[in-house]
Structure 1
Amino acid sequence: MPLRLFSFSMLIGLGAVLGHLYLYRRLVRPLVRGRLPRLLAIGVLVLMTGVLGNRRTVLDLLPGSAEGLLTMAVYTWMGVALCLVIALLLTDAGRGLTALARRMRPRAPPAPPTPAPSPSVDEDRRRFLGQAVAGTAFVAGGGLAAYGSWRAFSPPLITEVAVRIPKLPKALDGLSIVQLTDIHVGHFIQRRYMDALVQQANALRPDLFAITGDLVDGDVASLGGHVSALAALKSRYGSYFVTGNHDYYSGDEEWSAFLESLGISVLRNRHVSIGDKGASFDLVGVDDWSGGRRRNKKGYDLELALAGRDSDRAAVLLAHQPANFKVAAERGVDLQISGHTHGGQLVPMTMLIGLAWEHSAGLYAHGDSNIYVSRGCGFWGPPMRVGSPPELVKLVLTA
C-alpha cells in the first residue's frame, strides 16, 4: 500500500513542516504586524514543528507532570493547525476557481479608459483583501476545530448491523455483540467519559461485549482508575478483550492482568466457546498484528488461536487491526471484528485511509465471511473528529 512506504512519524513530521510554512505564509504574514509579534509567531511555529516531528523524544525527556500538559497542548495544536490549513486551502481553491471562471467568460467590448489608481491605493486594496481572506479562513478553521472537539467528546453514534453466519446454531439466531474499540484512555479520555460510555453500551443490552484493543495510552498505575469503569459492563456471556498496538506500548502484560481482575476475559491467541452444550460458537482472539513485533514480543498468531477448533463450528474472530482477514476467512472464520483505523478520524485522512487499509471502516465480505471495522469509540492525537464520528457498534448475528 502506498502509505505504508512511509512511517507514520515521517508523515506527521513532513505534514508539520509543510503545514506550518503554509500557515506562516497565509496567516502570519497578512495578519501579524510588527517585527516582534511576527518573530514571536515564527518562533511558535518553529517550536511546534520541532515538537511534532520529534514528539516521542521530547516527551521522554520531560517529567511526568510536564509530559501530560505538553501532550495535551501539542495534540490540541495539531488539530487546530490542521483545521486552519483546511480552511485556508478551501479558501484559496475558491479564489482560484473564481479567477479561472472570470478568465473564461466572453470578453465584453472595451470600456472607455479611466484613470488608473495610484500604486499606493492598489497596494492597500490588495493588502485589505488578503487580510480579509486570511481572517475569514482563521474564523472558519477555528469553528471547524471547535466542532471537531465537540464531536470527539460527544457520545458515540450507535451503529447496528446484522451479519449472517450460516454455521451459527439456530438457537443463537439474533445473538448480539457490542464492540468497544480504540477508546484510548489517557490524558483526554478519563473516568467521566468511560462511565458514560459504559452506560451507553449497557443500554444496548448485548449478549456479549468485545473490546478490540487500543484501550489505553498509559500504564496501569496512571489509568487503572479510569479503565475500571469497564467492570460495570453487563451482558449474558461477559466481556472479552484483545490487545491493540497501543496496549503493547502501554504494557500488554500488566493491562491483561488488570483487566482479568475486573472480570474481563483476555484472549491472547486462543479461543473459547460461547453458549451452552445445546448451541454454541467459538470466539477467537488474537494479539495485535504489529505491537508484538515492535516490542520484540510474541504477537499475532492465528494458527495458535485456532488450534484444536472444530472447523464445522461457527467462529467469530476479535483482532484489533483489520489485517489478514482473507487468510482468516479461508481458515474458517465467519466474522472478524476489528478497529484500529478510526475511519481516518480527521479529514483529509478520512479520504486517504483507504490507501493504507483495504478494509478501513464498515462491513466487508469475502465469500461467506465478513469483517466489520469500527471507527472507534474515542480518538488518538488531536482531541477532534471531523468526517469520521465515533461509533459504538452492535453486531446482530443471524443464522
Structure 2
Amino acid sequence: MFIVVLGSVLAVMHLFLWLRLVRDTTRPGRVRWALTGSLVALALVLVAALMLPRVIGLADAGWFAWPGYLWFGLAAYLFLVLLVLEPLRFILRRRLDRKSSSATTDVSRRLFLARTGAAVAGVTSVALVGAGTLRALGPPDVLQVPVRLRGLDPALRGFRIAVVSDIHLGPLAGRAHTERLVTMINETTPDLVAVVGDVVDGTVDELGSAVSPLADLVSREGAFFVTGNHEYFVDDTLSWLRELERLGVQPLRNENTLIRRNGAVLNVAGVNDLAGERVDDGPDFDRALAARSPNAPTVLLAHQPVQVEQAAARGVDLQLSGHTHGGQMWPFHYVVRAVQPSLAGLSTVDGTQLYVTRGAGFWGPPMRIGAPPDITVLTLEREP
C-alpha cells in the first residue's frame, strides 16, 4: 500500500512538473522532447534510489542514490512553488487572453509567462535545496536543555543525558557521520547516552563498519538503545541488537535498568518501536516498567512521541523520543505534527514530560529546511 501511494504521488508530481516546466515553456519540437526525456530520466533515478538499494545492496547504491534523493527534494519544492504560483498564473493568463491581438502574440506572451514562472520556481527551489543540503550535511546543533523531575534525589542533580536519534546510516551517510556524532557527544561529557532509534537503513554486513564508532562513546553510566521503526525494515533486527550490544550500546527491549549514584536511584527504561508489532516484537510498557524503584523518577526511551500516551498512563516522569526529524523539510512538518503529539523540544502530556529530538541525520532527501539536526544534552534538576 505504501508503494502504491508513494508511486501515485510521484506520478502526479512529475506530471504537474512536465505540464508547467516542459509543455508550457516550449513549442512542439526537439527541445520539448529533450526536456521530457530528461524529466523521465530523473524520475527513473528517483525510483531507483527508493527501490534498488534493498535489491543490489548499499555498496553499489551511492551513484544513483545521491542524484535520486537530491532530485526528490528539488522536485518537491518545484512542485510546491509552482502550486503557490498557480493562482497568479491563472489571473495573468486571463488578462493576457483579453488583451491578445493575434494568435502569434498570444503564444509568445503565454511562453513568456510560463518561462518566468518556471524561472522563479527554479531559483527559489535551488536556493532552498542548496541551503537545506548544507545544513543536513553539516554538524548538528548541540542543545542544552534543563529538565526538572519530581522526586529526583539531590545526589542526581546535574545528571546529564545525551540524546541522539535518527542517525540513519545508509547509502548517503556512513562511518564519517558516526565518527563526528560520537566526537560531539563525548565532548559534552554526558553521564548517560540515550540512542532512541533509527540508527541504520541496512544490514549489519553492509553497515557494520559505519556503526562501529559507537564503541567509542564515553559516559559514566553507559549508552542505551531502543529500536526505531527503521530497525524493523531490515531483514534481521536481532543481528543489529547483538551488534550494538557488542559495541557497548545496551539495547533496552521492553526492559529497565537502575542507575545508582551515592545511594540515589534513577529508573531508565526502554520500549520497542510500534513497527515491531508486525513481527511480534512491539512495545510492552508493563514489562518495561516492571520492577522499577517506586520512589525514584523514571526516564523512558521510546522512539515515537505518540507512545507517550501509554507512558503517561503508567506514571513515567520523562520520555525521550525522536522519529519526527522536526519535520525535516518545511512545510512538511505540518503533516508530521498532525500525527504526533510533539514535533520537537520539551512538552508535557498528561503529566509526563516529553522531549523530542529533531535527530542527527536525515532520511530521503539529504536536506534539512527549517528543522536543523541536533544532539541534545538534558540536565536533570529536582522539581521544587
In the other structure, the counterpart of 1:110 is: none
Please state if 1:185 is matched with 2:144.
Answer: no
For residues 245 and 367 of structure 1, do their structure 2 counterparts lie closer, same or farther at Cα, with a shift above 3 Å needed?
closer
Amino acid in the other structure paired with 2:376? V
Please state if 1:143 is matched with 2:130.
Answer: no
Q: What's the CA shift for 1:230?
A: 1.4
In the other structure, the counterpart of 1:112 is: none
In the other structure, the counterpart of 1:259 is: 244
Q: Is the 8 A contact 2:48 2:65 kept in 1?
A: no
RMSD of Structure 2 on Structure 1 (CA)? 2.7
Please state if 1:381 is matched with 2:367.
Answer: no
Instruction: State the alpha-carbon separation in 1 of the partners of residues 185 and 215 from structure 2.
Output: 12
Please state if 1:203 is matched with 2:187.
Answer: yes
Structure 1, unaligned runs of 5 or more: 1-6, 103-114
Q: Is the 8 A contact 1:12 1:53 kept in 2?
A: no
Please state if 1:84 is matched with 2:78.
Answer: yes
Instruction: State the alpha-carbon separation in 2 of the partners of residues 65 and 31 from structure 1.
Output: 39
Q: What's the CA shift for 1:341?
A: 1.3
CA deviations 1:152-188 (Å, max 9, x no partner) are 1111122222111112111101211111100101111
Q: Is the 8 A contact 1:85 1:141 kept in 2?
A: no
For residues 154 and 119 of structure 1, do their structure 2 counterparts lie closer, same or farther at Cα, with a shift above 3 Å needed?
same
For residues 63 and 215 of structure 1, do their structure 2 counterparts lie closer, same or farther at Cα, with a shift above 3 Å needed?
closer
Per the alignment, in what secondary structure is the counterpart of residue 305 of structure 2?
A: coil
Instruction: State the alpha-carbon separation in 1 of the partners of residues 127 and 357 from structure 2.
Output: 27
Pairwise mapping of residues 1-399 of structure 1 onto structure 2 (< 5 A)? 8-32=2-26, 35-46=29-40, 59-62=53-56, 65-92=59-86, 117-250=101-234, 251-276=236-261, 278-290=263-275, 292-294=276-278, 296-399=279-382
Per the alignment, in what secondary structure is the counterpart of residue 258 of structure 2?
A: strand
Q: Is the 8 A contact 1:31 1:131 kept in 2?
A: yes
Per the alignment, in what secondary structure is the counterpart of residue 148 of structure 1?
A: helix
Q: Is the 8 A contact 2:193 2:223 kept in 1?
A: yes
CA deviations 1:180-203 (Å, max 9, x no partner) are 100101111112222222222222
In the other structure, the counterpart of 1:4 is: none
Q: What's the CA shift for 1:253?
A: 1.1
Q: Is the 8 A contact 2:345 2:356 kept in 1?
A: yes
Per the alignment, in what secondary structure is the counterpart of residue 224 of structure 1?
A: helix
Q: What's the CA shift for 1:382?
A: 0.9
Residue identity (%): 40
Per the alignment, in what secondary structure is the counterpart of residue 214 of structure 2?
A: helix
Q: Is the 8 A contact 1:31 1:135 kept in 2?
A: no
Name whichever of 31-40 and 267-276 sits farther off. 31-40
For residues 245 and 189 of structure 1, do their structure 2 counterparts lie closer, same or farther at Cα, with a shift above 3 Å needed?
same
Instruction: State the alpha-carbon separation in 2 of the partners of residues 275 and 302 from structure 1.
Output: 22
Q: What's the CA shift for 1:53?
A: 6.9
Instruction: State the alpha-carbon separation in 2 of the partners of residues 16 and 149 from structure 1.
Output: 21
Q: How many residues align?
A: 378
Structure 2, unaligned runs of 5 or more: none
Q: Is the 8 A contact 1:176 1:208 kept in 2?
A: yes
CA deviations 1:9-35 (Å, max 9, x no partner) are 454333212211211111112445553
Instruction: State the alpha-carbon separation in 2 of the partners of residues 33 and 98 from structure 1.
Output: 20
Per the alignment, in what secondary structure is the counterpart of residue 319 of structure 2?
A: strand
For residues 32 and 65 of structure 1, do their structure 2 counterparts lie closer, same or farther at Cα, with a shift above 3 Å needed?
farther
Larger radius of gyration: 1
Q: What's the CA shift for 1:260?
A: 1.4
Q: Is the 8 A contact 1:350 1:387 kept in 2?
A: no
Instruction: State the alpha-carbon separation in 1 of the partners of residues 294 and 356 from structure 2.
Output: 24
Amino acid in the other structure paired with 1:264? V
